[in-house]
Amino acid sequence: MDNNRTFTMIKPDAFSEGNTGAILQKITNSGFKIVALKLTQLTPEKAKAFYAVHKDKPFFENLINFMVSGPIVAAILEKKNAVEDFRTLIGATNPEDAAEGTIRNLFASSMSKNAIHGSDSDENAAIEGAFHFNENEILNH
Ligand code: UDP
Ligand code: MG
């Protein structure tokens, strides 16, 4: 499977705090090319479907409430080894554990309000990208 694309969402905390521009700049400065980009807001139905893998976790309801609480920015990003390199760029789920200079280290405030999503596998990157974008919304070059 191709390993050159990943999917991200700038989460409601980062968007409402005005960090979208700084985060996108850090992403592009790190060698990722934006091939799809959208400002949107998740409905409860869409948020539950997106995070279905976590539906039995204790934090699920809190996660859904947070993810629908305001606008998000969804994007598909292109780079060699995209999924792994992007997870490195965003840092650990808990910002207290996120390495210095990572997006979560710089912009996240808690384990739940952690600023940004990054796909965890090539398979999920494809599924999550298709969840948010039609083929004609993605740059082909
Ligand atoms: N999350 C949370 N509490 C937890 C674990 C996760 O609120 O104990 C939230 C957090 O926003 C996280 C998302 O659920 O980004 C998805 O969790 P996952 O373990 O997939 O972390 P990620 O892949 O985003 O690092
Ligand atoms: Mg995850």
- Delimit the domains of the chain by residue range: 5-135
Q: From the candidates 54, 117, 132, 141, which is the catalytic residue?
A: 117
pLDDT > 80? residue 141: no
Q: Report how far residue 19's alpha carbon sits from residue 24's, in angstroms, rounded to the nearest whole number.
A: 9
Tens of pLDDT, residues 52-63:
999 999 999 999
Going from the Cα of 112 to the center of ligand 1, the distance in angstroms, rounded, reads: 6
Cβ–Cβ < 8 Å for 95, 111: yes
Give me the pLDDT at residue 140, please.
Answer: 87
- Pairing of β 33-40 and β 72-78: antiparallel
Ligand 1 pocket, Cβ-based, cut-off 6 angstroms: 54, 59, 62-63, 93, 111-112, 114, 117, 120
**Residue 72 structure tokens:** 């998000």
Q: Do residues 8 and 86 make contact, with C-beta atoms less than 8 angstroms apart?
A: yes
Residues less than 5 Å from ion ligand 2, measured at CB: 120
Q: Does 141 participate in catalysis according to the annotation?
A: no
pLDDT at 2 over 90: no
Architecture of domain 5-135: 2-Layer Sandwich (3.30)
Q: Residue 69 has what pLDDT?
A: 98
Tokens 């600023």 found at: 115
Residue ranges of alpha helices (H) inside 12-102 are 12-16, 20-29, 44-50, 60-67, 82-90
> Three-state DSSP class for 40?
strand
Q: In whole angstroms, give the CA distance from residue 37 to residue 17.
A: 19
Average pLDDT for 3-31: 98
Q: For residue 130, what are the contacts with CB-CB under 8 A and spacing of at least 6?
A: none
- The pTM of the full predicted model, rounded to 2 decimals, is 0.97
pLDDT value at position 1? 53
Distance CA 28, CA 141 (A): 17
Of all residues in the chain, the percent with pLDDT exceeding 70 is 99
Q: Render pLDDT for 62-106 as a digit per residue (tens, 0 to 9).
A: 999 999 999 999 999 999 999 999 999 999 999 999 999 999 999
Closest-lying ligand 1 atom to the alpha carbon of residue 11: 11
